[in-house]
Every structure is written in structure tokens, then in C-alpha cells.
Amino acid sequence: MRLSGCSEDRIGEWLLKCAVQRGANHYARVFDGDLPPDRAELSNEELGAALCLGGLPYNSAFIRVAAQLLSSPRTNAIRLTRVAVMERVEPVLLHIAAAAARVAPKAQPWAYVREHLHSRNSTLSGALPHWSRFVSQTGVTPFGGGPDVKWLSRGKPKS
């Protein structure tokens, strides 16, 4: 909150705006014009972990945006796991990593997270978004094929 200058009730929306501007394009929307600008000193790993904090009002979009923002080979997996432990968001990141294992098992940083991060706590069953909320999927494809399911990865940041 200190870094953004936002009040407690607006911090989640500010984090969401920053993540979208940094490439979580699937969740693009019009944000309130008086939200403060992004702050470069907040790393993508810290931003993703902040979106998973239990202190924010629950909004599953925060977790889904964090997943897309962090789904990039440019994400520093070592830093991400360190931040996850410091902020105690291991259960949420492990949930995202498990969802990634279903669709894109080799995708980083999630393969690293599954191998190196261990949770001290658990979450209630059904409290986190279903794996299908982290992907883009079509219905039946041409020629009778099954659905086309793609893990949502970070796109190019908005300038």
C-alpha cells in the first residue's frame, strides 16, 4: 500500500491494473483513471505474489491474473519461490502450478515451483479457481476434434 499510495480498499484493483499493463492481457479492462501508475521497483514476482495474498478481499480474478503474469520464461522462478515463502502464498502458487501441470507440464516457472516449493499450509477444497480458469479453450474444433486448450501466458506489456 505504501508503494502504490492506494487505500486498502483499492490496492487489489491497482495490483490488477499493474499486472494487465505488464502483460496479463486476457484480463484487460478499463481501469479507474485515478489509480496510481505502475511502480517498476515492484518485480513481477512480487506483484504476482501480492495478487495471491489472503489479506486482499477475495476475488478469483486476482489469482487468475497472477497466474498469467507469472506464466513466462522471463519469470525468475528462484525469486518467485523465495517471495512465495516470505509472503506465505505457497498454497496458492502450488495450486496454479498443479493446474499448469494438466495443460502445460513443462511450462516455467510452474515446473520449477512444483519441484522446489513446499507448502506449510493447505487451502480449503474448492477455495481456489478451477484449473479451467487459467486457460483459454475453445469448444469442438474443426473436423470433430476436441477442445483446444492453451495455458494463458504473459503477453507483451502495454506501452
Mean pLDDT, range 108-122, rounded to an integer: 89
- Give the burial string for 119-155 (b: 16+ CB within 10 Å, else e): beeeeeeeebbebeebbeeeeeeeeeeeeeeebbbbb
Q: Which residue has the higher pLDDT, 58 or 23?
A: 23
Residue 143's pLDDT band (cuts 50, 70, 90): low
Q: What percent of the chain has pLDDT over 90?
A: 60
Per the CB < 8 A criterion, the answer to whether 90 and 120 are in contact is: yes
Question: For the chain, which residues make up each domain, given as ranges?
Answer: 11-135
| Lowest mean pLDDT segment, chosen from 49-63, 64-78, 115-129, 132-146 | 132-146
Q: What percent of the chain has pLDDT over 70?
A: 88
Mean pLDDT, range 81-107, rounded to an integer: 95
The pLDDT value given to residue 135: 75
Calpha distance 1→14 (Å, rounded): 10
Calpha distance 40→58 (Å, rounded): 25
> In this predicted model, what pLDDT tens digit does every residue of 77-88 receive, in sequence order?
999 999 999 999
- How many Å from the N-terminal Cα to the C-terminal Cα in the chain? 24
